[in-house]
Amino acid sequence: EELGDIQPRPPIITVLGHVDHGKTTLVDKIRSANVAKGEAGGITQHIAAYQVDHNGHKLTFVDTPGHAAFGEMRARGANVTDIVVLVVAADDGVMPQTVECIAHARAAGAPIVVAMNKIDLPGANEQKVLTDLANQNLLPVEWGGDTEVVRVSALNGTGLDNLLETLLVTAELKELKAPTDAPADGVCLEAFRDEGRGPVAWIIVRRGTLRVGDLVLCGPSFGFIRAMYNDRDEEISEAPPATPVRVAGLNAVPNAGDTFLVLADDDIDIAREVAETRQVRGRTELLSRRGGPRTLEEFLSKKEGTIRDLPLIVKADTPGSIEALRHELGKLQHDEVRIQIIHEAVGGVNESDVYLASSAGAIIIAFHVVPEDRAQSLAEQEEVEIRRYNIIYNVTDDIRGALEGLLK
Ligand code: GTP
Ligand code: NA
Ligand code: MG
């Protein structure tokens, strides 16, 4: 796969912490806007993402309603977080929810930078916060550990430059990079139906550049991007890696945590099919993720005494290879299993193939071709089996052997 230029990208920083410890106020102050005041009851209901510029360096902040939303993203394998800012109110210290946030950050493998907030309050107890942190195995740098603890007041802005500098240093150590020319992929942070714009999704681009007009598959929705807005609600035409944007043009409302990817315009039918399958799956749960056989062995060991289809996707290096494979596989007749090639094409295994295989319960035969980077990881995520071959008789022998051996 041609990934294009690999460029440094801004860090994606998720702000976590106990309720009312000041996450939204902190992000709000950093972007000098006024999000917290506009919230109903001052409780964050949704994930919000903003990009800021500090001395010429961009940082992307994701403000969460709490650890649950973060955990959800992580559980869905869609975590985009590079660094966690753990907000701990100095008058309150580490609370049970703070401990859960620490666990989530660790499970996600994200380094933690602590923002000790509300130091302006008379009740602030810095030593207690440091002790609480040490008790969680977050030994502060000032005590000889390696956890950065930055004192801040989100309310009056104290320490915010320090915090941003610390975050930039932490990000630098990670050497974050992403291809910029490639078709985009990323994650849906949240989505809703807008009166005027229809389904709108808050997404964050992980890799590549997203453009108006791109065909996007996002969870159970798909569509050509009709309009795109940045975190200031300004209309934009393209979004490079780590940019949070709202997009309009999807045919349905996706879910928080759904991954999205850009497909070639030609793949519109695949996009529609996969999206529709997921809609059905979501509605009826008839086709649960683990409901159907995924590997050849699982398929064959699931004896039902009826004729079943073994759906295959064939990807190969040349039209001649495909012709030969179709011919050879066509000779493999079996009483109980009917081999069915649902898709065949010249070229490496790509994301569309994997999505198609995932929705159809198919196995992918890769003949003289390799899976593209993103396809391989996607296959792992979607539990799709990709079987690679270089010799045509190995394909048929393998499948015949499996048919005969396992169906005896
Ligand atoms: P949830 O989203 O509900 O979990 O809360 P949050 O962590 O986003 O906290 P939020 O920003 O809503 O702040 C909670 C309260 O703490 C508000 O009344 C803020 O004004 C106040 N607050 C936040 N930061 C500071 C600070 O540095 N000093 C003082 N004195 N108050 C603060
Ligand atoms: Na709050
Ligand atoms: Mg909040």
- 254 assigned ligand-binding residue: no
Backbone phi, psi, residue 263, to 5°: -115, 160
176 confidence band (pLDDT: 50, 70, 90): very high
* Atom number, ligand 1, closest to the C-alpha of residue 25: 11
One-letter amino acid identity for 60? T
Stretch 238-263: mean pLDDT, rounded? 91
348-376: pLDDT as tens digits: 998 878 887 887 778 899 999 989 878 88
> Residue 140: pLDDT above 80?
yes
Structure token pair of residue 90: 């100095």
Question: Can you tell me the distance from the alpha carbon of 372 to that of 364, in angstroms, rounded to the nearest whole number?
Answer: 13
Q: What residues does the ion ligand 3 have nearby, CB within 5 Å?
A: 23-24, 44
Q: Is 218 left (phi over 0), alpha (psi -120 to 50) or beta?
A: beta
Stretch 369-392: mean pLDDT, rounded? 87
Stated as kind and residue range, the H or E segment containing 87 is: strand 83-89
For residue 154, the CA-to-ligand 3 centroid distance in Å is: 12
- For 140-174, what is the HEC assignment? EHHHCCCECEEECCCCCCCCHHHHHHHHHHHHHHH
Tell me how far CA of residue 358 lies from CA of 149, 245, 293, in angstroms.
44, 28, 10
Backbone phi, psi, residue 316, to 5°: -145, 175
Helices and strands per DSSP (H, E), number in the chain: 12, 22
Kindly report the average pLDDT of the chain as a whole number.
84
Question: Can you tell me the distance from the alpha carbon of 321 to that of 393, in angstroms, rounded to the nearest whole number?
Answer: 12
ipTM of the complex: 0.99
Question: Can you tell me the distance from the alpha carbon of 360 to that of 311, in angstroms, rounded to the nearest whole number?
Answer: 7
How many C-beta neighbours within 10 Å does residue 60 have? 23
Q: List alpha helices for 93-222, DSSP H.
A: 96-107, 126-135, 160-174
- Render the burial of 89-125: b for 16+ CB within 10 Å, e for the rest: bbbbbbbebbebbbebbeebebbbbbbbbbbbeeebe
1 confidence band (pLDDT: 50, 70, 90): very low
* Atom number, ligand 1, closest to the C-alpha of residue 153: 27
Question: Can you tell me the distance from the alpha carbon of 247 to that of 227, in angstroms, rounded to the nearest whole number?
Answer: 6
Tell me how far CA of residue 157 lies from CA of 27, 32, 272, in angstroms.
11, 10, 48
3-30: pLDDT as tens digits: 568 899 999 999 999 989 999 999 999 9
pLDDT at residue 307, as a whole number: 57
For residue 63, the CA-to-ligand 3 centroid distance in Å is: 7
Stated as kind and residue range, the H or E segment containing 226 is: none
321-353: pLDDT as tens digits: 998 998 888 888 776 677 888 788 889 998 878
For residue 27, the CA-to-ligand 3 centroid distance in Å is: 9
For residue 19, the CA-to-ligand 2 centroid distance in Å is: 6
Q: Comparing C-alpha atoms, which of 245, 257, 249 is closest to residue 210?
A: 245
315 confidence band (pLDDT: 50, 70, 90): very high
Question: Are 153 and 186 in contact, with CB atoms under 8 Å apart?
Answer: no
Q: What is the secondary structure of 256-317 as a DSSP string?
A: TT-EEEEE-GGGHHHHHHHHHHHHHHHHH-TT-TTTS--SHHHHHH---SS-EEEEEEEEES
Q: Which residues sit with their C-beta closer than 6 Å to ligand 1?
A: 17, 19-25, 36, 42-44, 65-66, 117-118, 120-121, 153-155
> Residue 292: pLDDT above 50?
no
177-200: pLDDT as tens digits: 999 988 899 988 888 998 888 999
Q: What is the pTM of this model?
A: 0.72
Higher pLDDT residue, 395 or 67?
395
Q: Comparing C-alpha atoms, which of 98, 260, 239, 228 is closest to residue 178?
A: 239
